Amino acid sequence: MLPGNAVPSANPSPGAARQRIWALAWPIILSNITVPLLGLVDTAVVGHLPDSRYLAGVTLGATLFGFLYWGFGFLRMGTTGLTSQALGREDDTAVRHLLGQSLLMAGAIGALLILFSRPLVALGLWLLDGSETASALAAEYAHIRILSAPAVLANYAILGWFLGQQNSRVTLSILVLTNAVNIALDLLFVVGLGMTSDGVAWATVIADYTALAFGLWLVTRQLRLLEGRFLRDRLLALSAYAELFRVNANLFVRTLGLLFAMAFFTSRGAVQGDTVLAANAVLLQFIMLTSYALDGFAHAAEALTGRSVGRRRWDEFATTVRGAAGFSLATAAAASLAFALGGEALIALLTGLPEVRATAATYLPWMVVMPLIAVWSYLLDGVFIGATAIREMRNSIFAGLAVYLPAWWLTQALLPQDLTNHGLWLAFTLFTLVRSATLAAYYRYHRRTRWRDTPDQGRLHSGL
């Protein structure tokens, strides 16, 4: 087997583990930064149009696709965890068929999303509860963007498969191509051709299919390096999907819970008017920028801890987690400092609307504290994905929601009208804090019981 990047066979020292984490993380960080960069360009391009309704419409439409696309992010995460464990077992056949199974699932789900797009879009926009004008623009955006569903989901599977083989440079090349094409077409359609939210949607669709064509070409090259061939019964028999279904079902529920929290935040901001909705959208780009930087180390942890699980090497597992934690905490501290010193300047880059700038600056302090709270949830998500301990991830979301919704209700009931958006930010921050604390408690429990530093320890279980 050739996983893409060289894989050391011995348990690494802490210094060697950090080097390995960085070697995997830096291409992922660069590629991930292009994703929020795309969001920043979308926001900046539409935010400089003469009316804030276009920014509000794109915000609602993009949030809707948090449900329709990101809800199926298990096609990336589940594929990464299972592929990295197969890599640890040196099972080329499993690595090959995990790709085939994930691509077939992606194609089927994508076709269903297009088939049922009209009721899904209508329901989603009703739940988001934006203004009539913003919702109309969001619907136009959504009916265009849904056409890329099969490509988006297949790209998730391809990215997860390469990352599970510790081939992060391929991930970099795919995502950089996707977002470079998308940004270029954003500028062409909106700035050059005078389109509005529909131009942003068409740019995304074209970029997604361009990335799929490139990804499939890379897949064909990698398959030549793996032993064996595709077997019909492994691809078409439902029983062969049992492990993939088990992992992905819990990931799906977990992701829907997380996306519900984000969508609830956006919808409660929308009720306060288009200016607050647009200001919150600008600040959410800060969170996305931080999350993609932190996810670089989390994704490296996925691949490396998954391989350790496949080898049943808990000493190696723990060394990887400690190394990734050091990188993650340093990154979170740097993000908080950057937002404290340059947050208002970044807001000004994202929108030229004075009322949106002023409103976003009012809530900027929440962005300063958020990275230090959220860092542990990002890191431990990566660890638990690598270990395919998905029930714990799901439960952490439930615990967070159990605090988030009551906290929001209390702040809306007790705070005066001009502080209700601060109450919304407080509730969202508490959700993140509880999620991080729950994952940390699960990790400590497993380290004492199942993930102890004994190479011959018994089989890892995925739930409590």
Per-residue model confidence as pLDDT tens digits over 419-454: 889 999 999 999 999 999 999 999 999 998 888 765
pLDDT at 293: 82
Band the pLDDT of 38: cuts 50, 70, 90: low
pLDDT top residue among 462 and 150: 150
DSSP secondary structure string for all residues of 162-229: HHHTT-HHHHHHHHHHHHHHHHHHHIIIIIIT---HHHHHHHHHHHHHHHHHHHHHHHHHHHTTSSS-
Lowest mean pLDDT across 119-133, 136-150, 196-210, 352-366: 119-133
For 402-411, b/e burial (b = at least 16 CB within 10 A) is eebeebbeeb
What integer best gives the mean pLDDT of the chain?
85
Q: What is the identity of the amino acid at 204?
A: T
CA distance 120 to 340: 39
Query: Contact at 8 Å (CB) between 304 and 319?
Result: no
Domain count, the chain: 1
Using one digit for the tens of pLDDT, what is the confidence trace for 117-133? 899 888 888 877 667 77
Indicate the SS3 state at residue 312.
coil
pLDDT at 37: 64
Q: Helix %, strand %, coil % for the chain, to 5?
A: 85, 0, 15
Residue range 160-178: mean pLDDT, rounded: 89
The answer to the question of residue 80 being in a domain is yes
pLDDT at 1: 45
Query: Contact at 8 Å (CB) between 316 and 12?
Result: yes
Say if residue 231's pLDDT is above 80: no
Asked whether the CA dihedral 50, 288, 108, 157 is positive or negative, the reply is: positive
Q: What is the identity of the amino acid at 403?
A: V
Say if residue 254's pLDDT is above 60: yes
pLDDT top residue among 285 and 110: 110
The answer to the question of residue 250 being in a domain is yes
The answer to the question of residue 361 being in a domain is yes
pLDDT at 71: 78
The answer to the question of residue 461 being in a domain is no
pLDDT at 36: 58
Query: Contact at 8 Å (CB) between 280 and 265?
Result: yes
The answer to the question of residue 5 being in a domain is no
Lowest mean pLDDT across 127-136, 166-175, 304-313, 442-451: 127-136
Query: Contact at 8 Å (CB) between 44 and 351?
Result: yes
The answer to the question of residue 12 being in a domain is no
Q: Which domain holds residue 182?
A: 21-449
pLDDT top residue among 51 and 334: 334
Residue range 179-208: mean pLDDT, rounded: 84
Band the pLDDT of 400: cuts 50, 70, 90: very high
Query: Contact at 8 Å (CB) between 172 and 94?
Result: no
Band the pLDDT of 52: cuts 50, 70, 90: low
The answer to the question of residue 208 being in a domain is yes
The answer to the question of residue 114 being in a domain is yes
CA distance 143 to 114: 9
Query: Contact at 8 Å (CB) between 127 and 63?
Result: no
* pTM as predicted: 0.81
Q: What is the identity of the amino acid at 336?
A: S
Distances in Å between the Cα of 291 and the Cα atoms of 23, 263, 340 are 19, 17, 17
Lowest mean pLDDT across 82-86, 171-175, 331-335, 339-343: 171-175
